[in-house]
Structure 1
Amino acid sequence: MQQPDFPIRKECPPGACDCKRELLLDDPQADLAILRLTKEEEKRLVERIEGAASYEELQRIGVRLRQNLGVSLTIAPGENEVRTVMGLQIELSMRPGLCRKTREAIPAAVRRCLKRNPEIIYAILNANDLLGG
């Protein structure tokens, strides 16, 4: 089992998560970047997402997630009508080492951001050509 030289996320209680963290730690070739997202760092990330004031800022956060952790954040209109924030599909890609709670917390933070900033929803819809822009 490899021990990284940086603080990593603590292990979840047995049976509480499906992150497969141990597979990463057992593989000497594995990229351990995802384990840098400690609970404290996750809280900072959630605050940053909730504080995003524009679509561009939300996109930059998504780019940083991809660069630093290797996960992608997808925000797109759902298959049916988009009448509320709940009509958007917000997903964080699955990756070994990414905690189940994180996969739930980040999309929830995006939804809270969008509820506070409806103009971001319009920008998302426009970027997906739903407003004919």
Structure 2
Amino acid sequence: MLSELTGGNSAPVPTPTPVRNKPAAPAAAAAPPTPEDAPKVQAPKPVDIKVDTQALKEKLMESIQHLNQAMRDGGRNLNFHMDDAVGAPVVTVKNADTGEVVRQLPNEVVVRIAHNIEEFKGLLHNKLS
């Protein structure tokens, strides 16, 4: 059967010789690292990032006013305004004839929920204090 596996060649298969590990070097030969040999690591320099949120808010309000003016000049009846409870601009589309709100983004329900959450924050904070 072995001759069938080797393809009919009856030459003996060499047996592998075990590999012997060399003995480890004695622990006393390795010198412990000293503080001078340790790599030099420096702490990163602190970065002071200053953001003027008041200036950003003023710029956003100015952009919203400019956008509203452009919509009026273009004959569109779109109105953009900033809602503090939502924390983002709110877009309303009104019927030019009746003044009725046709569409609002985000939806009126989302705006009401945001206002209710703001009111709940105040109630919860006051009760816990």
Q: TM-score range by the shorter chain?
A: under 0.3
Higher relative contact order (CA 8 A, sep 6+): 1
| Greater share of strand | 2
TM-score under structure 2 normalisation? Answer: 0.24
Q: Which has the larger radius of gyration?
A: 2
TM-score under structure 1 normalisation? Answer: 0.23
